[in-house]
């Protein structure tokens, strides 16, 4: 990882996790499809023994993500697998965890259900504050920008407050990606993310990961993964690694599109609640502009009703109705349909990499119709 640290984001994304050049070999070796491997008849396993515990394709991907996040990394079969592994590896009965009240709703459901049943108390905290005293809290989980409302919190300040109270800090970096911000350098102990979204960006892989600078902390998460088996398949790991090379290019277009979409939506009186942390008028702008290297391509807004959202999406030619976000195709997701506690007309809008002028024209026409 250190060999790439002096290069810029685009260069690091292209070269992250690649093996040393070898004549006659590809830049990125293909996936290794194996569960068991040949063992030494006397001494047993060498570098690989069984794919649930070690796998060369998976380890290459972990090296790539670790180079971008700034710490050793473990990949999982999904983002939800990664965050539940982190929570269950760190928390014990009697512990208290602070979770974002406006973060990913499945994490809140997990805390209110399984964690509660295990004797873990959860405290819901808004991403933008106010923040409680973290005394007695074992883990503070942040999600910034929050999904789907896009509030932003000061990672460094909250990490200092949590550490002073004796708590660990984990940051969900899904929306920002490691090219948007690096929580480990801002004081966080752990980073967790869904690689399904913008990191891989082609809407064809389920992936999650956990990064940490403390080897003992990451080892606990790795033990959990080994014993539960929540690992991605070889081809998914290879697809993800291949996709990371274009991350910087994809994010650049998505951010440019989001800036244009947000400005368009702000100019209309038939759209309310427009949020994008890159807008100078956005409540999150002061922190986001100081903390983040790049604002993500996700915009949120409200069309007032489920019926209006349906008409808008039916009229749009370039905007697909789909959940998830961060892909190369522009998508829109009415979050209330999944049980998220958002208004009926609330839309999470994920900008793809279409030409900006085409996307703006299509949105304008769909809203007009």
On the question of a common fold for 2-244 and 248-368, the answer reads no
For 114, 128, 178, the CA distances from 286, given in Å and listed in that order, are: 36, 12, 20
Residue 83 has pLDDT above 80, yes or no: yes
Mean pLDDT value across the chain = 97
| pLDDT tens-digit series, residues 272-294 | 999 999 999 999 999 999 999 99
Query: Exposed, middle or buried by CB within 10 Å (0-12, 13-18, 19+), for 303?
Result: buried
| pLDDT tens-digit series, residues 157-216 | 999 999 999 999 999 999 999 999 999 999 999 999 999 999 999 999 999 999 999 999
pTM reported for the whole predicted model: 0.96
Measured distance CA(73)–CA(62) in Å, rounded: 5
Say what the pLDDT of residue 1 is. 43
Query: Exposed, middle or buried by CB within 10 Å (0-12, 13-18, 19+), for 164?
Result: exposed
Looking at the chain, the whole-number percentage of residues with pLDDT higher than 70 is 99
Measure the N-to-C terminal CA separation of the chain; round to a whole number of Å: 51
Q: Tokens for 341, please give them.
A: 């506690």
Put the strands of the sheet holding 320-321 in their side by side order.
Answer: 272-275, 298-302, 346-350, 331-334, 320-321
Confidence of residue 45 (pLDDT cuts 50, 70, 90): confident
| pLDDT tens-digit series, residues 107-132 | 999 999 999 999 999 999 999 999 99
| pLDDT tens-digit series, residues 299-344 | 999 999 999 999 999 999 999 999 999 999 999 999 999 988 899 9
Length of the chain: 369
Say what the pLDDT of residue 254 is. 98
Q: Three-state SS for 1?
A: coil
Q: Tokens for 54, please give them.
A: 């070690």
Measured distance CA(63)–CA(69) in Å, rounded: 10
Q: What is the DSSP string of 185-246?
A: GGT-SEEEEETTTTTT-SS----EEEEES-HHHHHHHHHHHHHHT----HHHHHHHHHHHTT
Domain ranges (residues) in the chain? 2-244, 248-368
Residue 37 has pLDDT above 80, yes or no: yes
Query: Mean pLDDT over residues 83-101, rounded?
Result: 98
CATH class of 2-244: alpha beta
What single DSSP character describes residue 359? H
Confidence of residue 47 (pLDDT cuts 50, 70, 90): confident
| The CATH number of the domain covering residues in 248-368 | 3.90.1150.10
DSSP H helical ranges for the chain:
9-15, 56-69, 79-90, 105-110, 116-117, 155-164, 215-228, 234-244, 247-266, 285-291, 306-315, 356-368
């Amino acid at each position: 990882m250190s060999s790439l640290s002096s290069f810029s984001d685009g260069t690091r994304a292209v070269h992250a996790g690649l093996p040393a050049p070898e004549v006659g070999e590809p830049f990125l070796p293909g996936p290794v499809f194996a569960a068991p491997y040949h063992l030494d008849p006397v001494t047993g396993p060498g570098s690989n023994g069984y794919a649930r515990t070690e796998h060369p394709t998976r380890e290459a991907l972990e090296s790539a993500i670790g180079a971008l996040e700034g710490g050793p990394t473990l990949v999982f079969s999904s983002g939800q697998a990664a965050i539940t592994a982190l929570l269950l590896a760190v928390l014990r009965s009697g512990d208290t965890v602070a979770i974002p009240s406006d973060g990913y709703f499945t994490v809140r459901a997990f805390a209110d259900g399984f964690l509660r049943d295990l004797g873990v108390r959860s405290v819901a905290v808004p991403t933008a504050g106010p923040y409680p005293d973290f005394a007695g809290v074992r883990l503070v989980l942040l999600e910034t920008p929050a999904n789907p409302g896009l509030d932003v919190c000061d990672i460094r300040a909250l990490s200092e407050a949590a550490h002073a109270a004796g708590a660990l800090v984990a940051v969900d970096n899904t929306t920002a990606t490691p090219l948007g911000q690096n929580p480990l350098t801002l004081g966080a102990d752990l980073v967790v993310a869904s690689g399904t979204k913008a990191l891989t960006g082609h809407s064809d892989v389920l992936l999650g990961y956990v990064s940490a600078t403390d080897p003992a902390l990451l080892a606990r998460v790795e033990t959990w993964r080994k014993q539960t088996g929540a690992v991605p398949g070889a081809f998914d790991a290879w697809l993800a690694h291949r996709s990371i090379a274009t991350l910087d290019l994809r994010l650049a277009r998505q951010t440019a599109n989001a800036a244009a979409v947000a400005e368009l939506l702000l100019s209309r009186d038939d759209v309310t609640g427009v949020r994008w942390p890159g807008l100078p008028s956005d409540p999150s702008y002061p922190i986001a502009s100081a903390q983040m290297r790049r604002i993500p391509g996700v915009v949120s807004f409200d069309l007032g009703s489920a019926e209006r959202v349906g008409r808008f999406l039916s009229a749009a030619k370039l905007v697909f109705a789909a959940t998830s976000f961060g892909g190369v195709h522009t998508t829109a997701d009415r979050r209330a349909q999944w049980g998220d506690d958002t208004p009926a007309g609330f839309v999470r809008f994920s900008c793809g990499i279409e030409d900006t002028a085409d996307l703006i024209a299509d949105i304008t026409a769909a809203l007009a119709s």
